[in-house]
Amino acid sequence: MDASYIEKHIEQLKMDIYRHVQHKTLLKYTGNPLVNENQLFYMLLPFFNGENWDEEKYEGIITVGIVQASLSEHGLIDESEATSKTQQLTVLSGDYYSGRYYEILANSGNIPLIRQLSEGVVLRSEHEIRVYEPNNYTFDDWLQSLTIIESEFISRFYQQYNFEQYRAIMETNLLALRLQQELANYKEGNSSLFFLKMMDSFVPEDSLNFEKFMEDKVEKLIHQLLELLHTSLLKEELQLYIDKQLIRQS
Amino acid sequence: MEKMKLKLLYSDLKPDIEIIEKELEKALNSTSHLLYDASLHLLRAGGKRIRPLFVLMSAKFGNYNIEKMKYAAVPLELIHMGSLVHDDVIDHSDLRRGRPTVRSQWNNRVAMHTGNFIFGRAIQYVSHIDNPKAHQVLARTMVEICNGEVIQIEDKFRLNQNIKDYFRRIKRKTALLIESSCEVGAVVGEVDAINARHLKRFGYYVGMSYQIVDDVLDFVSTDKELGKPAGSDLLQGNITLPILLMKDHPKIIEFIERASKGEVTEKERMEMLNIVRKSDAIKEALSISDQYLAKAMKEVEALPNNPTKKKLKEIALFIGKRKF
């Protein structure tokens, strides 16, 4: 198993997600669903590591990808003005994907995963809306919210199929990647509301500025991830792939 | 007043509807105060709760148990509520049932999260039911509602559409969810296949009639009764049955063209309302609604005799003749 083998499977999963939500009008106006390849890698990780794998689990990760895409689409809606045809159809594409994940699982009778993912939708919505709440959340609260946004659905899938041994690695890596992305956006002058809220919650220590603080945080997460990798039962090729593709190149 | 009449019609089910109402509030409970407030804001704005009502009434033809049926009735209302929150974003609506919409009180993103939260809760709730058929019906309905909305956006301000296009749209937009309410009620209540089919068809016909009446009310009611400006559908480009029945009227064509450019004045809106109200289109549309109601009645006739049978007829009639 090398990088190209892993990437081929990630690409296949992406295509299967697209295929399951194909809709002529939505495709024309809103394009393919938003999928994050790093998340796709972690959905497939148990399979790559040789766990017992079957069609039900593969269909399960397709629906995980679809439900993630549903909420990501809705993240594209403008706060005040969503009257363009593209924005209106973006609302509907998210709703359509949400109906499709449910429909796929309903047709195969996978009610336990329906419950897991719907609970995930509830939890993720509760954390995504935090940026609009007047509450004073701490920096760690914001990290918890970002962890849920990035990894809750995959965690639920792991929980459903007893793959929880992969959870810590997945959560740490996806959080590190998200923070790196947030930092890059900040440096380009495109800070997200989450980043601004985290900045507000930052209590300066020893004249450390927020940018440096965030860089240190990412470093700590990467260090933590490397430790988790070395003590894990992941195949060496997978450890190498994560190290090379998801840490070094990020 | 109208809502009182409806309540009187389902007085037999009053204790169970109260259970559903409490469950709805419970379902919207959240660790996020903002989500809870935004969801409750909509729940407390009222609504006729006809979808849970049809779930419960359908199950009365099988093995009725409110403790089981609530897991079917609550999600049907939640799906309806969630889609209203997102619809208001699509339509940029400021008012619903006379109250500010979630998007206007907070913003579009808050409305998106609120709608997703409500949809999530709906599916979480129904996942207590282990009959895959109920899930298949509900999931298919959610997908088809979206398809209907996509078609509605594509058909906006499109003058060359016909009545068939309109029926195709309202079937998905409204009739399917009422049809599903009856079907899910029948499935979860273990109604036999033949009667379940009658109930399903009944829901479909009532749903078609319901939407036609809704579209008529948008022209004939006052702004106050509607809780939003009369004629809003047409202002937003939704060409409904009364307009399709008089779409060759030169003033209407001109109005649609001006509305598509967002150039309609208040005086023009009032003028358009007068033209529609004085036309035969309202009467004709209501007559089509009556034809659907008659079909619904025929389906009820085929059901076995029980006290709910009479109530179903009365509620269907009420829906067809309602004034709000």
Percent of chain A beyond pLDDT 70?
98
Q: Could you tell me the CA-to-CA distances from A219 to A121, A172, A183, A250 in Å, in that order? A: 30, 11, 13, 12
Site from A20, A70, A74, A119 to mutate, B interface, most B CB atoms within 10 angstroms: A74
Q: Which helix (H) or strand (E) holds A25?
A: helix A24-30
d(CA B299, CA A7): 56
DSSP lists the bridge partners of residue A230 as none
Diameter of chain B by CA atoms?
56
Provide, as residue numbers in chain B, all residues whose Cβ is less than 8 Å from the Cβ of A117: 123
What H or E segment, with its residue span, contains residue B51? helix B50-59
Range of the structural domain that residue A98 is part of: 3-248
Query: pLDDT, tens digit, for every residue of A100-142?
Result: 999 999 999 999 999 999 999 999 999 999 999 998 899 999 9
Q: To 10 degrees, what angle do helices B163-170 and B132-155 make?
A: 140
Task: Indicate if the pLDDT at residue A249 is higher than 60.
Answer: no
**If contacts are CB pairs under 8 Å, which of residues 91-130 in chain A contact chain B?**
91-92, 94-96, 98-100, 102-103, 105-107, 109, 111, 114-115, 117-122, 125-126, 128-130
Nearest chain B Cα distance for residue A42, angstroms: 23
Does residue A184 register a pLDDT over 80? Answer: yes
pLDDT per position as a tens digit, A185-235:
999 999 999 999 999 998 877 667 889 999 999 999 999 999 999 999 999
Evaluate whether A73 touches A30 at the Cβ level (below 8 Å): yes
A89 touches chain B (CB under 8 A): yes
Q: What residues in B contact A103, CB-CB < 8 Å?
A: 136, 139-140, 142-143
Q: Give the gap in angstroms from C-alpha A178 to the nearest C-alpha of chain B.
A: 20
* Local confidence pLDDT in tens for the 324 residues of chain B: 566 667 777 778 889 999 999 999 999 999 999 999 999 988 887 788 999 999 999 999 999 999 999 999 999 999 999 999 999 999 898 888 778 999 999 999 999 999 999 999 999 999 999 999 999 999 999 999 999 999 999 999 998 899 999 999 999 989 999 999 999 999 999 999 999 999 999 999 999 999 999 999 999 998 888 888 889 889 989 999 999 999 788 888 889 999 998 888 899 999 999 999 999 999 999 999 999 999 999 999 999 999 899 999 998 888 887 766
A135 contact residues in B (CB cutoff 8 A): 33
d(CA B133, CA B72): 12
Confidence category of residue A9, pLDDT binned at 50, 70, 90: very high
Whether the CB of A86 is below 8 Å from some CB of chain B: the reply is: no
Backbone angles phi and psi of B95, in degrees to 5: -125, 145
B121 at interface of A, judged by CB pairs closer than 8 A? yes
Residue of B110, B123, B149 lying closest to A118 (CB–CB): B123
Angle between helices A167-187 and A139-160 (to 10 degrees): 140
Residues of chain B found within 8 Å of residue A91, distances taken between Cβ atoms: 86, 89-90, 112
B109 touches chain A (CB under 8 A): yes
Q: Which two tokens stand for residue B290?
A: 């009556």
* Inter-chain residue contact A133 with B109, CB threshold 8 Å: no
Token pair 């998801």: residue: A246
The band of A246, judged by pLDDT with boundaries at 50, 70 and 90, is confident
Tens of pLDDT, residue by residue over A23-58, are 999 999 999 999 999 999 999 999 999 999 999 999
Asked if the Cβ–Cβ distance from A102 to B139 is below 8 Å, we say yes
Q: What is the pLDDT of residue B48?
A: 83
Residue B29, chain A, CB below 8 Å: the answer is: no
Residue A248: its pLDDT value, please? 66
Query: What SS3 class is residue B128?
Result: coil
Overall domain count for chain A: 1
- B34 neighbourhood in chain A, CB within 8 Å: 129, 132-133
**Non-local CB neighbours of A180 within 8 Å, separated by 6+ positions:** A218, A250
Chain B CB contacts of A98 below 8 Å:
116, 119, 142
Query: What's the rounded Cα separation, in Å, for the pair B47 and B43?
Result: 8
**How far does B136 lie from chain A, in Å, by closest CA?**
5
Closest CA relative to residue A23, chosen from B119, B123, B143: B143
Q: What are the chain B neighbours of A128 within 8 Å (beta carbons)?
A: 113
List chain A residues with CB under 8 Å of B115. 95
CATH classification at residue A117: 1.10.600.10
- B118: closest chain A residue by CA: A122
- CA distances (Å), origin A125, targets A11, A84, A140, B68, B169: 28, 24, 18, 27, 30
The alpha carbon of residue B137 is apart from the nearest alpha carbon of chain A, in Å, by: 9
B50 interface with A at CB cutoff 8 Å? no
A vs B: CB pairs below 8 A: 147
Q: Summarize the confidence of residues A79-89 as an average pLDDT.
A: 88
Instruction: Tokens for B144, please give them.
Output: 């088809």
**CB proximity list for B197: less than 8 A, separation 6 or greater:** none
Secondary structure letter of residue B229 according to DSSP: -
Site from B112, B145, B156 to mutate, A interface, most A CB atoms within 10 angstroms: B112
B201 is written with which tokens? 């068809």
Domains identified in chain B and CATH numbers: 2-6+13-321 (1.10.600.10)
The answer to whether the Cβ–Cβ distance between B35 and A129 falls below 8 Å is yes
Q: How near does any CA of chain B get to the CA of A156, in Å?
A: 14
What pLDDT, on the 0 to 100 scale, is given for residue A119?
98
Would the pTM of this model clear 0.90, i.e. be above it?
A: yes
